[in-house]
């Protein structure tokens, strides 16, 4: 057997440990990329999506350059500044929650899908709502025509919620919730009333809402009311939970759609943090303390192009959050300073050859896991084509389970902590986010981001840059600008039940006919009074939901009180 032997024994005494790392790095770069060995690579192609140049090699000299201090900048998981994670054991002792995002057609169809997802290991159900529900229209409204149940499930009254969770107790999963944004008090009340109907006390289950209307005005478009009252209604949910269900998650402030629209993950994070500040300021003005309400706000970061930027963005976000809560708001509790995150496993999915999206989303999700995300759900491989079919939803769940349980990914806490590259990149992205926050402060904060057009402008300019990078090939995308293929829709693409809308309309009509009309009238009058008197709207909305008042009937009161959002054409 041949055994490798070095040319002479290693002599520790002769090893020069005093060499200057920066000088040695410069020497190596000069030799490694000398013209004799080929032309130096075009540095313009080695940029993150947020514009950070990527060096060919990272060494301790890079950490010296950024003034890296282990205890100040990194510390330990579950301790200030929370760079390494929001909880001590992270995935080693408390694995991320395997979540499923689903919902289509009517309540019966969604109930069947949820049960199948739970059978294969889903731990959280996030309900996808159809567009009429998200925009505050009942299924029988003229604005809902042809859209009932198309991109999510229609939820008009508590009756829909009861059917959707028939056979699924609220306390049988780790969290239930929805990503609806402009109807926060209504969906919060529906989940609270659902627990009552099932005989499950509020302290026995956990509700998770996105409930972040401010990002809708620039990034997505399901806004209903003007921004200021919309933000107030969203904050009502946090205030009510602080008093009645402090372990719920009534607000998850979203970067996802802002980044997807073109802002980039760093500027998107800055805009989302400005929204956080606005919501917190509203709550503090109403007498809540920062240590009471900050733990109820989560973040929804997003980076779908660069593996290491995903990791660094999460770490930078937690560090910025911790310092913001402590230094700007005077938070004392670790819970207020530890930012919890929900993420959606992307991977720059493509329409061409959708099966290739399986490794894309797996790598994107792995990055989030290594970055320390608290809750993860995953795109189906066919989501660029249609609502995920049952097989792709199962593959998404299995991908999460494999990452959580196989290959040792979760064995060590923050395994990339201390990496010369990751720590340097985390510091660079932290600076980008802080610079973005400073720009927003100069604009005037979260509401002027909407009213001045700043947010839309940032997103539009970023979208143009991103598309140019795709067109030029600087942003590689297999089957799109490399080994190009035509988009194709597989014959397995999901198709909803054409009769679901008819069933939904029939159920809504039956509920309206059979409910206690006097109770409905009284409940709506109280919603109107609470809204007009600037009280927390959740108690009155909860009583209305118990009376089977429809979502549209409640939203119509808000439309009368506040008007509707009219976008400016001045910018």
Residue 463: predicted pLDDT: 95
Residue 307: predicted pLDDT: 95
Burial of residue 20 (number of CB atoms within 10 Å: 0-12, 13-18, 19+) = exposed
Closest alpha carbon to 164 in 120, 211, 201, 130: 130
User: 33 CB contacts (<8 Å, ≥6 apart)?
Assistant: 40, 41, 56
Residue 431 pairs in a beta bridge with none
Listed as ranges, residues in the chain with pLDDT below 70 are 1-18, 35-44, 569-571
Instruction: Collapse the DSSP code of 188 into the 3-class scheme (helix H, G, I; strand E, B; otherwise coil) and give the result.
Output: helix
Residue 570: predicted pLDDT: 66
CA angle 144, 150, 154 (to 5 degrees): 65
Number of H helices, E strands in the chain: 23, 8
| pTM listed for this prediction | 0.94
Residue 4: predicted pLDDT: 40
Distances (CA, A) of 152 to 163, 387, 439, 494: 15, 8, 36, 12
Residue 237: CB atoms within 10 Å: 27
Please state the three-class secondary structure of 501-518 as a single string: HHHHHHHHHHHHHHCCHH
Residue ranges and CATH numbers for the domains of the chain are 70-453 (3.20.20.240)
Residue 5: predicted pLDDT: 44
Q: How far apart are CA 218 and CA 283, in angstroms?
A: 23
Helix (H) or strand (E) holding 555: helix 551-562
Residue 1: predicted pLDDT: 39
Structure tokens at 42: 């075009």
Residue 498: predicted pLDDT: 79
Instruction: Collapse the DSSP code of 418 into the 3-class scheme (helix H, G, I; strand E, B; otherwise coil) and give the result.
Output: coil
Report yes or no: 126 and 98 within 8 Å, Cβ to Cβ.
no
Closest alpha carbon to 83 in 256, 312, 258: 312
Instruction: Collapse the DSSP code of 252 into the 3-class scheme (helix H, G, I; strand E, B; otherwise coil) and give the result.
Output: strand
Residue 468: predicted pLDDT: 94
């Amino acid at each position: 057997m041949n055994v490798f032997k070095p040319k002479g024994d290693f002599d520790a005494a002769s090893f020069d440990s005093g060499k200057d790392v920066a000088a040695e790095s410069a020497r190596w770069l000069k030799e490694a990329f000398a013209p004799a060995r080929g032309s130096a690579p075009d540095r313009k192609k080695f940029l993150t999506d947020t514009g950070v140049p990527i060096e060919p090699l990272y060494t301790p000299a890079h950490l010296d350059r950024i003034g890296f201090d282990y205890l100040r900048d990194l510390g330990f998981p579950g301790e200030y500044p929370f760079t390494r994670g929001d909880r001590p054991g992270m995935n080693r002792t408390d694995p991320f929650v395997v979540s499923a995002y689903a919902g289509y057609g009517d309540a019966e169809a969604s109930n069947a899908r949820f049960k199948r997802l739970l059978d294969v290991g889903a731990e959280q159900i996030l309900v996808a709502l159809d567009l009429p529900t998200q925009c505050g229209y009942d299924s029988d409204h003229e604005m809902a025509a042809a859209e009932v149940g198309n991109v999510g499930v229609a939820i008009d009254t508590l009756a829909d919620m009861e059917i959707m969770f028939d056979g699924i107790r609220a306390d049988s999963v780790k969290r239930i919730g929805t990503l609806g944004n402009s109807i926060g008090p209504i969906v919060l009340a529906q989940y609270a009333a659902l627990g009552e109907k099932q005989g499950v006390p509020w302290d026995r289950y956990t509700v998770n809402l996105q409930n972040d209307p401010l990002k809708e005005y620039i990034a997505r478009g399901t806004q209903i009311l003007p921004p200021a009252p919309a933000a107030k209604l969203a904050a009502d949910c946090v205030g009510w939970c602080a008093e009645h269900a402090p372990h719920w998650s009534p607000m998850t402030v979203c970067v996802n759609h802002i980044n997807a629209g073109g802002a980039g993950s760093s500027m998107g994070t800055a805009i989302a943090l400005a929204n956080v500040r606005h919501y917190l300021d509203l709550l503090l003005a109403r007498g809540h303390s920062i240590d009471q309400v900050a733990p109820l706000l989560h973040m929804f970061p997003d980076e779908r192009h660069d593996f290491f930027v995903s990791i660094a963005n999460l770490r930078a976000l937690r560090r910025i959050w911790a310092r913001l809560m402590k230094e700007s708001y005077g938070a004392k509790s670790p819970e207020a300073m530890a930012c919890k995150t929900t993420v959606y496993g992307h991977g720059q999915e493509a329409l061409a050859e959708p099966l290739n999206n399986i490794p894309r989303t797996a790598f994107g999700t792995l990055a989030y896991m290594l970055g320390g995300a608290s809750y993860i759900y995953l795109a189906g491989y066919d989501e660029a084509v249609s609502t995920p079919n049952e097989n792709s939803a199962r593959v998404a769940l299995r991908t999460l389970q494999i990452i959580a349980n196989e290959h040792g990914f979760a064995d060590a806490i923050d395994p990339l902590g201390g990496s010369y590259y990751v720590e340097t990149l985390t510091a660079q992205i932290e600076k980008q986010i802080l610079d973005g926050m400073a720009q927003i402060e100069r604009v005037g904060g979260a509401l002027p981001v909407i009213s001045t057009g700043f947010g839309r402008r940032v997103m539009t300019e970023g979208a143009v840059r991103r598309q140019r990078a795709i067109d030029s090939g600087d942003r590689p995308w297999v089957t799109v600008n490399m080994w190009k293929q035509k988009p194709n829709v597989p014959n397995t693409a999901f198709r909803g039940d054409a009769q679901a809308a008819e069933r939904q309309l029939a159920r809504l009509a039956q509920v309206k006919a059979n409910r206690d009309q006097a109770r409905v009238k009284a409940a709506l009058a109280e919603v109107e009074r609470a809204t007009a008197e600037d009280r927390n709207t959740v108690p009155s909305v909860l009583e209305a939901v118990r009376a089977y008042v429809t979502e549209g009937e409640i939203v119509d009161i808000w439309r009368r009180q506040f008007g509707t959002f009219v976008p400016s054409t001045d910018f």
